[in-house]
Structure 1
């Protein structure tokens, strides 16, 4: 889908990067290989997702959806954020402190699956809703808030 709003495009680009990176993580681990640099990259990217991307959506986007009568999707995505945050923080901790932990591979594969599903929901529902609900002025405000 082609997005006209700057904020939608920005989030879409981040989603693409997430899918690409976590696709590599999943393929590497499923093949029984080890790639510490890839896991460090995934942990750093995930930290951004948890601390910047998710927070922005929860504070700026989900309330806007609710104001337009679309609270359900925001609530569902926020619930997924909670689950992903919990697993994600554990993943980041393991990559930093114990990258050889037996728990790391199944946790990373679970995260990959959750992230793929979550991104798909956002791409199919959240971003198209933003295209319809956000005007040019709000788009500029949201984009500025996200990039600051």
Structure 2
């Protein structure tokens, strides 16, 4: 199976864009993630999928974390935490009840580690939701390998 073609197929599913934040060795870290989903309301659980090659993968194991859902105007934050440092970007950190998180995001969800699972070339991290907050606004969207904040026009729809 051609992995590039499979990735292109997966890219036809529009997702929101998140930054997963956590602390390790006394420092704050984050990684841009679009593979995020709700899992359960009782108990309240969510899942993030992290590539095994990412530095964050090993550091996140067993640590509290926050999922920060980005707003349409936060593309620079997404790029920054995807490893493309944005010169002059002022990252606003906040200390939460269980994890460091980003200020000014569309929503944040703080989690304690629940379980992690082998997901092939990724690790699936489940978090138990301990605290959350959201506001109105437009989301940053990832589709077809690109960030957008525009509603998606599907051919043939009007």
Higher relative contact order (CA 8 A, sep 6+): 1
Question: Normalization by structure 1: what TM-score?
Answer: 0.27
| Alignment TM-score, normalising by the size of structure 2 | 0.26
Higher helix share: 1
The structure with more strand, counted as a fraction of residues: 2
